Chain A
Amino acid sequence: MATARILQTGPGTSIQDLGRMVGSKYGIPTSGVMDPKSYHWVNHVLQNDPNDAVLEVSQPGLKIHFDAPTLLSLAGAKAKVMVNQREISNPSMIAIQPGDILEIGQIFIGRYVYLGIKSGFQTKITLGSRSYFSPVTGESMVKKHEDLPFQSLRSSSSSLSRSKPKWKTEWFEKQELEAYPGPDWNLLDRNTQFRITNGIFHLSKLSNRMGIQLEELIDNRLPELPTNPVFPGTVQLTPGGKLLILMRDAGVTGGYPRILQLDEDSISHLAQKNCGEPIRFRMKDF
C-alpha cells in the first residue's frame, strides 16, 4: 500500500467518512465529516465510493508527502493550496507524482477543507467507519509523521479528466439556515419563538466537532426535561440561555430542550461558518 506522510499539521486535522450508524445504541456518536456536501463533491469528482475516507482540515499548515501516483481533489473551505511550493489555482483535481508534497496554507473562506484521494484513505475501520473519534479509534486528530495508507494509481496524469470542475463556495456564505421546529419547540412562549425565528445570531468561540454555541442569550424558563435522543443539527437551549447546535461528534442523547432541528444541507452550511459570523434561522414546514 502506498503512503501519504503527514510532515506537518495544525490541530484539528482528521480522517473522516460518513461516520458510524451502528454505535448509537452503545452511546457512540455518529462522527463523520462536518460538511457532507463538500465531502460528497470531492468523492464524486474522483469517482470514488460515496463513503470513501478523506482528510478534514480546519487549520492552515498541513504539509503532506505522497510516495506514489494518485489523484487528489479539494473542496469545502477555500484555501491556498500548493504542490511542491507551486500554487494551484483550481485544486478540484490534482495529479500527484511520487515524491510530491502538498501544502494547505491560509484559509480564505469557510472553515473545513476536504482533501479527497482516489479510492479514499485506507486507514483502519473501527465499528463500521474510519472516522477519527478518540474513545473509539484512540485518536481524534492526525499527528505529525503519521502515515496514511492509500491505493496508488499506475499513472496519475492519464486519469485526469479533460475538463476540471470548479468548486463554488457561495452556498455557505449566505446567513440563512433552514430549520424545523424541534420536539420541545412548543414549550417555548411566543416571544421566545419570535426571537429565535427573527433574530440574528453569531457563532461564539465555543465551537468544535461536538457542537457550536451561539453568542446571544435567550430567556430560558423551561423545566428540566428527561434525557432523550439528539442528532447532528439538533439545536438545544442550555440552562444558561445559549443556543447550542450539536454537530457530528455530539453525544447521542441530551437533557437540554431540543428546540430546532436543522435540515441536512444547513448542517453542512453551518459547519463552514467561523467564529463571529452571523446566521439566521428560517423555519421550514412540511
Chain B
Amino acid sequence: MDLRPHYMEITPLMGELVWNEAPNDELLSWQIGYMDFLKKNWSEKIKEFRQGFTRISVVWKKELFQIEFKNSLSETQLKPLPLPEDVWEIPVCYHEEFAPDLILLAEQKKLTPSQFIELHSCVLYRIHFFGFLPGFFYLNGLPEILHTPRKSVPILSVPRGSVAIGGGQTGIYPGESPGGWHIIGRTPISLFDPVTDPPVWAQPGDRIKFRAIRLEEFKNWPDIKPISSRK
C-alpha cells in the first residue's frame, strides 16, 4: 500500500507530515522511513522532530527550510523501512498488591482475573513512539475486550512501574505520576535512566511481551533491564 503523507504547515517554523489511517504496523514502517529520511537529508535544517501515531511534527531552524521541504516532498521517492525484529519480555506482577483496579475491571468484562491476565500477557505489542512521560512508550495491540475508558477522575499518584490500561491502550508508568489509567500490575524493571545513553532500552518498532510473575519473583527480580529476543 502507498502510504505517502502530505505536509501541513502550522506556523512559519513548524509543520507536520500527516497520515489519516488508524495506527498500524504498516503506517509505522512508513513513519520510520520518513524519520530516517529526515535524519539523513534534513538534519542540519531541523531543530527537532517528534513522532505521534499518525503525524511526524517538524520544527525548522529557518522559515525557508520548511518551504524548501514542502516543495520537494512530492518528488521525494521514499519507501517504508522494515520494522525491527526485537521482542522485549517484560515481567509483570499482577498480584492485587500492585493491581488495585484489576479485579473490578475483570468483573466488568465477565472474566476471571486469570483470564484477564492471560489476555493481557499473551499478545505482542508494538512500540510506536515515546511520549507523555520520559521513557513511556505508546503500544498498539491491546485486545479489544480489554479496552476500558479512562477513569473520570485521575488519581494523584500512580507508582513507578505500574502497568495500566486506558482507552484502547496499555502502558507502563516509568516514574511516579498522576494518572487516569486503570492499574493492573507492576513491573520491577526500569524504563528510563537519564544517566545511561540512550536513557531507554527499546526503540519505536520493537515489540513488547508481558510475562506474568509471582510476588516473590517480583521482590527478588535481579535485573532492571528486560531480556530481548528476535522473532
List of B residues within 8 angstroms of A24 by Cβ: 48, 50
Given contacts A253-B52, A253-B131, contact A135 B10 (CB under 8 A): no
Most chain B CB neighbours (cut-off 10 Å) among A23, A180, A253 = A253
Closest Cβ of chain B: how far from A4's Cβ, in Å? Answer: 24
Across the interface, which residues of A come within 8 angstroms of B135, CB to CB?
Answer: 26-27, 135
Which residues of chain B are near A137, meaning CB under 8 Å? 194
Known: A21-B47, A228-B54, A229-B52. A261 touches B14 (CB 8 A): yes
Tell me the smallest distance from the CB of A14 to a CB of chain B, in Å: 16
Residue of B51, B131, B199 most packed against chain A (CB within 10 A): B131
- Chain A, range 140-160, C-beta contacts under 8 Å to B: none
Question: Are B52 and A135 within 8 A (Cβ)?
Answer: no
Chain B, range 124-152, C-beta contacts under 8 Å to A: 129-138
Which chain A residues lie closer than 8 Å to B69 at the CB level? none
Per-residue 0/1 for B159-191: is the Cβ within 8 Å of any A Cβ (1 yes, 0 no)? Answer: 000000001000000110000000000000000
Partner of B130, one of A21, A26, A181, A263: A26
| A26 with B199: CB separation less than 8 A | yes
State the CA gap A263–B10 with chains docked (Å).
Answer: 10
Residues B49-83 near A (CB distance < 8 A): 50-57, 59
Tell me the A260-277 residues at the B interface (CB within 8 Å): 261, 263
| CB–CB B55/A229 < 8 A | yes
Indicate which residue in A26, A227, A231, A286 contacts B200 across the interface (CB closer than 8 Å): A26
Report whether B14 and A135 are in contact in the complex, using a CB–CB cutoff of 8 Å: no
A253 with B129: CB separation less than 8 A: yes
B206 at the interface (CB under 8 A from A): no
Q: Mark A152-189, 1 if CB is under 8 A from B, else 0.
A: 00000000000000000000000000001111000000
- Is A136 an interface residue, CB under 8 A from the partner? yes
Let me know if A183 and B10 touch, CB within 8 A: yes
Q: How far is the CA of A126 from the CA of B138 in the complex (A)?
A: 24
On chain B, the number of residues with a Cβ less than 8 Å from chain A's Cβ atoms is 40
Interface size on A, residues (CB 8 A): 30
Q: What is the minimal beta-carbon distance from B186 to any residue of chain A, in angstroms?
A: 18
Docked CA distance A254–B129 (Å): 12
A180-B10 in contact given A21-B48, A24-B48, A26-B199 (Cβ < 8 Å): yes
Indicate whether A180 sits within 8 Å of B194 (C-beta atoms), given known contacts A24-B50, A27-B134, A228-B55: no
Q: In the assembly, what is the distance between CA of A286 and CA of B192, in Å?
A: 40
Q: Which residues does chain A contribute within 8 Å of B131, judged by CB atoms? A: 27, 227, 229, 251-254
CA distance A224 to B166 in the complex (A): 13
The answer, among A135, A229, A231, A261, for a CB contact under 8 Å with B194, is A135
C-beta contact mask, B102-142 vs A, less than 8 Å → 1, else 0? Answer: 00000000000000000000000000011111111110000
Contacts of A181 in B (CB 8 A): 10
Residues of A near B56 (CB, < 8 A) are 229
Contacts of B52 in A (CB 8 A): 226-229, 253
- Contacts A137-B194, A226-B53, A228-B52; A27 near B132 (Cβ below 8 A): yes
Say how far B87's CB is from chain A's closest CB, in angstroms. Answer: 20
Q: Give 1 or 0 for each of B1-34: 1 = CB within 8 Å of chain A CB.
A: 0000000111110101010001100000000000
- Tell me if A72 is interfacial: C-beta within 8 Å of chain B: no
Do residues A135 and B175 form an inter-chain contact, with CB atoms below 8 A? yes
Segment 1-50 of A: residues with Cβ below 8 Å from B = 21, 23-29
B222 near A: Cβ within 8 Å? no
Q: Given contact pairs A226-B54, A229-B52, A254-B131, enumerate 15 new A-B contacts (beta carbons under 8 Å).
A: A23-B134, A23-B199, A26-B200, A27-B133, A27-B200, A127-B194, A135-B133, A136-B134, A180-B10, A181-B10, A183-B16, A183-B18, A228-B53, A228-B57, A229-B131
Chain A residues with CB under 8 Å of chain B are 21, 23-29, 126-127, 135-137, 180-183, 224, 226-229, 231, 251-254, 261, 263, 286
6 A–B pairs (Cβ distance < 8 Å), ordered by A: A27-B135, A127-B194, A226-B22, A254-B131, A286-B9, A286-B11
